[in-house]
Structure formats: structure tokens, C-alpha cells
């Protein structure tokens, strides 16, 4: 049986053994409800407090600015919906966002449009990056929220979030009611993320991208920023997010944040080298391969490459049969293959959008993995192009 190689770490990551060890006691003997006054409750409350410090530490926040959620999707929903429903404007409210946000921001904005909000979706040009001039030009009197992610999940490009933060702060200093949310789900733990440097009001993170279990994440809420809770229940999380705290998951997330923070510099360099080894060789040796996104301003662990004349899904399945797990950016909904909207937003046509593959690296990956992938990949592409010669090499679609 061959060894499987996992290059889909932007989708999710395996749980770190130290993270698992940290959470285990809270699945067994330390089971108290963190809101209970007795010993069992105080024991788990202490663990939640510690995890809050650890989660805050990764993004240079204060512990009381962390609201635990069920993950990145809920953090994004709480940020966008919670902010706009608590801080209503007099006129029809307006949101500025990018055209390549994760569906948990994009679809929320589209839903808000149906409720009468106006939304501007900023272009990202061929490098996958928004322009600060476009952000400035899009903001108008009724703009209540700017939501632009730090790093994109498909192509890894990093947005000018510090400049956006500065712009929004200046407007607020001038008396405007406008706030800045950023989705840091892919960035946190991969590059330095500092809420003070960015100057954001709200920032979303998720545990399962940093070697902790699925089902837990956090929203950073800057002191003084008011949100309407989206999960209404008890007074947990300072009344912003009701529901009994999932202590084992919170403990795991805290441990993972601490580990990610400690490994950050070294691990980013290592991942960047692996990524460059793969990408450099593919772009040089496989004809009709093109990098998607900006070659410099991006996360160290993602390479997104389009292959002319190749259906990404076909290549993904072919690689999977040979033990290599990657992803396409495209969503397969109701049986029809939709080309990735992110790749299309770069101005790539359908052929290149359909032929895009994301390779995303994580802690377990090695140089041997890269070399094996390179060997398999070029053969797979040759085989697929031979099977469909009409598409071979150059674009048959245009």
C-alpha cells in the first residue's frame, strides 16, 4: 500500500498530538459546565480562561476581546450580521467587501442585499489583491462595514489590511460610524497576525486550520465594539454568543494557538521552501502551467496552479488514486461543475478556472512529499492530455 500524501491543509489539518493531550482530560474527568459555581465548574472555567489568553496571544488581542464560536463560518456571520444589526444607519446601509471572500462572508453579504443593504464587491485584478484606492472610492456616507480577508483560502494572496485598517480608523476618528472586519482563518498561524498593527475591529479565526479539532473558532471583538448576538441564549461569552462552552474544543484551540505562535517564524520559512520547490519545478517543467495569484504577497503554504487543457476535478481524482490529496478551487454543486469564482475574479477564463489545483502544505509535509508529487503530477498531466488531445498544451477553448 502506498503512503498517502496530504496537500490539502487549507481545507483542514490533522489534530496535533499535544493538542489532543491537552483536551483529553476535559472529555473525561474534567467535565464541569464552565458556568457552574462549584469545583467542577471552576475547574473548567479556569481552562477556558487559559485558552482565551492563548487565543488572544496569537493575534495580540486582550483575552476579554475573544469570543469563542463554532468556527470561522460562525465568527464571520457574527461579525457581519452582529455588527450591522446592532449599529443601524439612518439611510440604507452599505457594506464594502472583496469579490474573493469566503462564502461565509460573501453569502452573508448577498443575503443582506436581499434585506435592503447595498454591497460593493471590490475587484482583485490579475494578482488577486484589492487596491486601497478602490476601498477608499467605494466607501460612502452610509458605509457601515468594510470586510476584507487577510489571506485568501484558494490562492493565498494577502490583502492590504493594514492600509484598510488605517483608513477606517481615520474615518472613525472623524466621527464616522464605520468598522473593519477581517477574516484571518487562513492567515492566523501562517503569518504574523496582530490586531493592533492591522487596526481591525473584528477578526475571525478557526481552529481546524491550525491542527486543532473542527467545530471551534473565535471572533476578536475590539473593546467598545458592539454586536447583536446571533446565537441568543445564556450570558456566555459576555452575552455575545449564547450556549454552554464546548470546553474540550476551547482548550484544544487554545493549545493549538500557543503551539502555532511558537512555531510561526520557522514553520513559515519551511513551508515556503516546500511550496517553492513544488511550484518552481511545476512552472518550469510542465507546459501550460500558470500560477494563480500574486507570487510574492501571499501565504507561504499555498500554491494554486492552473493547467491548460486539464479539468481540475479529473486531475484531482487521478492524483487521489495515486495517494495524493489536493483540491480544486471549484465547487461541485447539484451535479454541475462551477469554475472557481476566485480564479475567475483574477480575469482568468473558464478553461484556466476549471484547470486550477490548490496544493496546500502543512506541518507533516516533507521534501520527499514534494518530490513524489512532482513525479506523479507530470505523468498524470501527460496522461490526461493524451486522453483528451483536443485540449492538449494550448487552450482549445480560447
Ligand X SMILES: Cc1ncc(COP(=O)(O)O)c(C=O)c1O
Which positions lie near ligand X, rule CB under 6 A?
Answer: 71-73, 76, 102, 104, 149, 153, 183, 185-186, 206, 208, 217
Are 89 and 144 spatial neighbours (Cβ–Cβ below 8 Å)?
yes
DSSP 69: E
Residue 202 φ then ψ, to 5°: -140, 140
Which residue number, 326 or 377, has a Cβ lying nearer to ligand X? Answer: 326
Shortest Å distance, C-beta 238 to ligand X: 21
Report the alpha-carbon distance of residue 281 to residue 372 in Å, rounded: 12
Shortest Å distance, C-beta 153 to ligand X: 3
Q: Report the Cα 138 to chain-centroid distance in Å.
A: 24
Residue 52: which residues within 8 A CB-CB, separation 6 or more?
63, 64, 66, 68, 250, 254
Which residue number, 76 or 304, has a Cβ lying nearer to ligand X? Answer: 76
Which residue number, 119 or 299, has a Cβ lying nearer to ligand X? Answer: 299
Q: Report the Cα 218 to chain-centroid distance in Å.
A: 13
Q: Which residue is nearest to ligand X (CB)?
A: 72
Shortest Å distance, C-beta 276 to ligand X: 22
Q: Work out the widest C-alpha separation in the chain, in whole angstroms.
A: 72
Which residue number, 65 or 154, has a Cβ lying nearer to ligand X? Answer: 154
* Pairing mode of beta strands 356-360, 302-307: antiparallel
Shortest Å distance, C-beta 43 to ligand X: 27
DSSP codes joined into one string, 331-382: EEETTEEEPPHHHHHTT--HHHHHTEEEEE--TT--HHHHHHHHHHHHHHHH
Catalytic positions, written as ranges: 332
Shortest Å distance, C-beta 69 to ligand X: 8
Of the candidates 18, 75, 3, 5, the residue with the CA atom closest to the CA atom of residue 210: 18
Which residue number, 54 or 186, has a Cβ lying nearer to ligand X? Answer: 186
Amino acid at each position: 500500500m502506498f503512503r498517502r500524501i496530504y496537500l490539502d491543509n487549507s481545507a483542514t489539518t490533522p489534530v496535533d498530538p499535544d493538542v489532543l493531550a491537552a483536551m483529553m482530560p476535559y472529555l473525561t474527568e474534567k467535565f464541569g459546565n464552565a458556568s457552574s459555581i462549584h469545583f467542577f465548574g471552576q475547574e473548567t472555567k479556569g481552562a477556558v480562561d487559559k485558552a482565551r489568553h492563548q487565543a488572544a496571544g496569537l493575534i495580540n488581542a486582550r483575552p476579554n476581546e475573544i469570543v469563542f464560536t463554532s468556527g470561522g463560518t460562525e465568527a464571520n456571520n457574527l461579525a457581519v450580521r452582529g455588527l450591522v444589526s446592532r449599529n443601524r444607519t439612518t439611510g440604507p446601509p452599505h457594506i464594502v467587501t472583496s469579490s474573493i471572500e469566503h462564502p461565509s462572508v460573501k453569502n452573508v453579504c448577498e443575503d443582506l442585499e436581499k434585506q435592503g443593504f447595498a454591497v460593493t464587491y471590490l475587484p482583485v485584478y490579475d494578482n488577486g489583491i484589492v487596491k486601497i484606492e478602490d476601498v477608499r472610492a467605494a466607501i460612502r456616507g452610509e458605509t457601515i462595514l468594510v470586510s476584507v480577508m487577510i489571506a485568501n483560502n484558494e490562492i493565498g494572496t494577502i490583502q492590504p489590511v493594514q492600509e484598510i485598517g488605517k483608513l477606517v480608523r481615520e474615518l472613525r476618528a472623524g466621527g464616522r460610524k464605520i468598522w473593519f472586519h477581517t477574516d484571518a482563518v487562513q492567515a492566523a498561524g501562517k503569518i504574523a497576525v496582530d490586531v493592533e498593527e492591522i487596526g481591525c475591529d473584528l477578526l475571525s479565526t478557526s481552529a481546524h486550520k491550525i491542527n486543532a479539532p473542527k467545530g471551534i473558532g473565535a471572533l476578536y471583538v475590539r473593546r467598545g465594539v458592539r454586536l447583536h448576538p446571533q446565537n441568543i441564549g445564556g450570558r456566555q461569552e459576555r452575552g455575545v454568543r449564547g450556549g454552554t462552552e464546548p470546553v474540550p474544543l476551547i482548550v484544544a484551540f487554545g493549545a493549538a494557538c500557543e503551539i502555532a505562535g511558537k512555531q510561526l517564524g520557522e514553520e513559515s520559512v519551511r513551508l515556503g521552501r516546500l511550496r517553492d520547490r513544488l511550484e518552481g519545478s511545476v512552472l518550469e517543467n510542465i507546459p501550460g502551467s500558470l500560477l494563480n495569484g500574486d507570487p510574492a504577497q501571499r501565504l507561504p503554504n499555498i500554491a494554486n496552479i492552473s493547467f491548460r487543457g486539464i479539468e481540475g476535478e479529473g486531475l484531482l481524482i487521478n492524483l487521489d488514486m495515486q495517494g495524493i490529496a489536493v483540491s480544486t478551487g471549484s465547487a461541485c454543486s447539484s451535479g454541475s461543475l462551477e469554475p472557481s469564482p476566485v480564479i475567475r475574479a483574477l480575469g482568468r477564463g473558464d478553461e484556466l478556472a476549471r484547470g486550477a489545483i490548490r496544493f496546500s502544505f502543512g506541518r507533516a509535509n516533507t521534501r520527499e512529499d514534494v518530490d513524489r508529487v512532482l513525479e506523479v503530477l507530470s505523468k498524470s498531466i501527460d496522461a490526461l492530455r493524451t486522453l483528451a488531445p483536443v485540449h492538449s498544451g494550448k487552450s482549445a477553448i480560447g
